[in-house]
């Protein structure tokens, strides 16, 4: 995550992540190494993004204004590595909604 390790641990504590490791990376070194990108300037005008935003608003998920240090425009990377650090799966998002299903990530775990 492009945030401090302290903030990463705070975020992780909100979820039952088991043995998953959540790493803060304020310098974005891992994002660059994994080939993460940023969306094009017109990404919010794409029909699928407009629909996703409208759907979330209709579900009651209203954006809150809060002070954040997170980089909310960097695109995500879903990755699974083994205990030795070898990447078993990598998926670079092409837009904010392009993320792998958690079941795909779990299926990629060794053992």
- pLDDT one-digit tens code per residue, 1-25: 567 888 888 878 888 777 777 788 8
pLDDT average, residue stretch 43-69? 76
What token pair was written down for 95? 């837009």
The domain limits of the chain are: 5-108
**pTM, full prediction:** 0.61
What band does 91 get if pLDDT is binned at 50, 70 and 90?
A: very high
Question: The tokens 């092409």 sit on which residue?
Answer: 94
Residues 26, 27, 28: CA angle, nearest 5 degrees: 90
Helix, strand or coil, per DSSP, at residue 108: helix
Q: Is the pLDDT of residue 66 over 60?
A: no
């Amino acid at each position: 995550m492009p945030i401090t390790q302290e903030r990463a641990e705070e975020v992780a504590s909100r979820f039952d992540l088991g043995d998953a490791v959540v790493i803060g990376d304020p310098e974005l070194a891992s994002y660059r190494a994994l080939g993460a990108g940023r969306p094009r300037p017109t990404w919010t005008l794409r029909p699928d993004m407009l629909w996703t935003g409208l759907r979330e608003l209709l579900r009651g998920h209203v954006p809150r204004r809060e002070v954040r240090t997170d980089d909310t425009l960097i695109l995500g990377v879903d990755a699974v590595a083994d205990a030795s650090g070898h990447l078993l799966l990598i998926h670079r998002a092409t837009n904010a909604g392009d993320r792998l299903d958690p079941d795909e990530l779990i299926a990629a775990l060794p053992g």
